[in-house]
Amino acid sequence: MVDKKTNDVVYIGQTSNCRSRFNNHSVLKKVKQDLDQYEVHVSLLDPNMLLHQLHEIESDLLGAYYHLKRTVPKYQYGG
């Protein structure tokens, strides 16, 4: 998820069900009322990927973000 004003990544996640993730994740519930402030970027992956593979991709993306910014996205761990 990206803040439109600052163009900063504020959350990185994975799911096989975007609607469920958005409705049930505590951090995403917080920003729901300000949704017009954010853009959600999605990459479609092989639907046969296993859960541990999705987690590995998420971890890799977080690691790359940290490598570049030396911090985690604003809402990654509760904000």
- Strand, helix or coil at 52? helix
**Would you state the pLDDT for residue 64?**
98
Q: What is the pLDDT of residue 72?
A: 96
Find the mean pLDDT for residues 11-20: 86
Which residues are within 8 A (CB) of 1 and not within 5 positions of it... i.e. 6 or more apart? 9, 10, 11, 12, 28, 31, 38, 39, 40, 41, 73, 75
Please tell me the pTM assigned to this model.
0.83
Determine the pLDDT at residue 38: 87
- Domain boundary assignment for the chain: 2-69
CA atoms within 13 A on the CB side of 45: 16
